[in-house]
A = this chain, B = another copy of it.
Amino acid sequence: MTEYKIQFVPHEKEVTVASGETLIRGAMAAGVHINASCGGEGVCGKCRVIVETGKVDGGISEKLSREDIDKGYRLACLSRVRNDLVVRIPVESAVDAGVLNQVAIPRKTARIKERNLEELKEKGLFVPPVEKIYLDLPAPSLENNIADVTRIVHALRNDHGEHRLEFDMTVIRKLPDLLREADFKVTVTIARPVRDEGKSRIINIEAGDTTARNFAVAVDIGTTTVYGQMIDLATGQVMAQYGDFNSQISYGEDVISRIVFAEKPGGLEILHQKVVETINQVLEKIIKKSKVEPDEISSITLAANTTMTQLFLKVNPRYIRRAPYVPAAVLYPPVAAASLGLNLPSHVTALVFPQVSSYVGGDIVAGVMGSGMAHEDALTLYMDIGTNAEIVIGNKDWLVCAACSAGPAFEGGGIKMGMRAAKGAIEDFSIDPVTYEPMNITIGNVRPRGICGSGLITMIATMFEMGVISNNGKFNRDLNTPRIREVEGVYEYVLAWKDVSGTDRDIVLTEIDIDNLIRAKGAMYSGCMTLLKEVGLTIHALDRIILAGGFGSSVDLEKCMVIGLLPEIDTDKVTFLGNGSLLGARMSSLTNRIRSDVGNTLSRMTNFEFSETPSYMDNYIAALFLPHTDLNLFPKLKRRLDERKKIRPCC
A residues within 8 Å of B by Cβ?
Answer: 140-150, 166-169, 172-173, 175-177, 180, 197, 313-316, 318-319, 323-333, 335, 355, 357-358, 609, 611-612
Give Cα A358–Cα B148 distance, bound, in whole angstroms: 11
What distance in Å separates the Cβ of A331 from its nearest Cβ neighbour in chain B?
Answer: 7
Contact A328 B175 (CB under 8 A): yes
Q: Is the CB of A316 within 8 A of B612?
A: no
Evaluate contact between B176 and A330: CB separation under 8 angstroms: no
Q: Which of B177, B314, B316, B611 contacts A177 (CB 8 A)?
A: B316
How long is the Cα–Cα vector from A358 to B145 in the complex, in angstroms? Answer: 9
Say whether A142 contacts B324, CB under 8 Å. yes
Chain B residues closer than 8 Å to A169, beta-carbon distance:
313, 332-333, 335
Q: Are the C-beta atoms of A172 and B142 separated by less than 8 Å?
A: no
Contact A142 B316 (CB under 8 A): no
Q: A150-B330, A331-B149 are in contact. Are A173 and B315 (CB under 8 A)?
A: yes
Docked complex Cα distance between A167 and B188 (Å): 28
B142 touches A176 (CB 8 A): no
A329's partner among B140, B150, B315, B609 (CB-CB below 8 A) is B150
Alpha-carbon distance between A149 and B612 when the two chains are bound, in angstroms: 22
Show 10 A/B contacts (Cβ-Cβ < 8 Å), sorted by A.
Answer: A143-B612, A144-B324, A145-B357, A145-B358, A150-B330, A169-B332, A169-B333, A175-B329, A176-B316, A177-B316
- The A interface is mostly helix, strand or loop, or mixed, namely loop
Looking at the assembled complex, report how far the CB atom of A308 sits from the nearest CB atom of chain B, in whole angstroms. 16
Contact A326 B147 (CB under 8 A): yes
| Contact partner, A333, options B167, B323, B357, Cβ 8 Å | B167
Please state if B148 and A313 are interface contacts (CB–CB under 8 Å). Answer: no
Q: Which of A143, A325, A326, A332 has the most CB of B within 10 A?
A: A326
Evaluate contact between A145 and B315: CB separation under 8 angstroms: no
* A148 contacts across to B, CB distance below 8 A: 319, 326-329
A146 to B611, CA, bound (A): 15
- A151: nearest residue on chain B (CB-CB)? B326
Report Cα–Cα, A176/B327, bound state, in Å.
8
How far is B142's CA from A612's CA once the two chains are assembled, in angstroms? 7
Docked CA distance A121–B318 (Å): 45
Q: In the complex, are the beta carbons of A172 and B326 less than 8 A apart? A: no
Provide the bound-state CA to CA distance between A324 and B180, in Å: 13
Q: Name which residue of chain B comes closest to A142, CB basis.
A: B324
Interface centre among A175, A333, A355, A357 (most CB of B within 10 A): A333
Bound-state Cα–Cα, A33 to B375, Å? 90
B328 and A172 contacting across the interface, CB-CB below 8 Å: yes
B-side contacts of A180, CB under 8 Å: 319
Choose among B319, B333, B355 the residue that contacts A168 (Cβ–Cβ < 8 A): B333
A329 and B172 in contact, given A177-B318, A318-B177 (Cβ under 8 angstroms): yes
Contact A313 B172 (CB under 8 A): yes
Contacts of A177 in B (CB 8 A): 316, 318
Q: Which residue of B lies closest to A314 (CB)?
A: B173
Check B141–A327 contact: CB distance below 8 A. Answer: no
Q: Which residues of B contact A313 (CB under 8 A)?
A: 169, 172-173
Residue of A147, A318, A612 most packed against chain B (CB within 10 A): A147
